[in-house]
Amino acid sequence: METKDIVKMIDHTALACDKTEAEISLLCQEALSNEFYSVCINAGHIPFAKQILENSNVKICTVVGFPLGATLSSVKAFEAAEAIKAGAQEVDMVINVGWVKSAQWDKVKADIDAVLNACGQVPLKVILETCLLSRDEIVRLCEICRELQVAFVKTSTGFSKGGATVEDVALMRSVVGRDIGVKASGGVRDFATALAMIEAGANRLGTSSGIAIAHGLQDNQAGY
């Protein structure tokens, strides 16, 4: 796999609530210069980022129901629709983990479906927050996402007690098959980890360490 192929899998991410416009501007400039797939930002920053990224190949990704996923489904759907109006080109939603833990699978499916419908043709990634889930819960969620034909399943918000693991990525890929994407997010901070996630089945990486990963790729191919 060539450097350019891996770099183009990166959603260059800045989701902390204290990010300034200067930091968002830098994030966008880094995405442009490194040819990352997208920037992943909170919706309030979309209009500003759109000005910088207009007429480029770097997409704008945003999050809804973030980071807890416990708000009303109607609110998540509205949030997604408004973000898309503002310029979001991909949407990452957080599931309602409490409903999963209560085995309220119909509610979980309806929650995802509401946001999926609000997204229309805009790709939806569904954040499972795998560190809080059992293996069986991950499998069932991936089955639901496969049934609904979402664009991606995603491991984590990066704001809970754990992030992506190779084992969870491999499990998710085994359930969703080849037609749905798998995004590894949370703790993907260096080249070795990024490569391990890709080898396990990830085809998108959510990380705030895109520059370090890109430099690691270059160093690795140069032999040092």
Pairing of strands 204-207, 59-64: unpaired
Range of the domain at 171: 3-222
Residue among 12, 8, 2 at smallest CA distance from 211: 12
Domain count, the chain: 1
183 is catalytic: yes
Residue 130 is part of a domain; what is its CATH number?
3.20.20.70
3-state helix, strand, coil in the chain (%, to 5): 50, 15, 35
Q: Which of 76, 109, 154, 168 is catalytic?
A: 154
The model's pLDDT over 149-170, given as tens digits with 9 standing for 90+, comes to 999 999 999 999 999 999 999 9
Average pLDDT estimate for 8-28: 98
The model's pLDDT over 85-107, given as tens digits with 9 standing for 90+, comes to 999 999 999 999 999 999 999 99
| pTM of structure | 0.95
Q: Which of 92, 109, 111, 125 is catalytic?
A: 92
pLDDT, position 220: 60
CA–CA gap between residue 23 and residue 40 (Å, rounded): 13
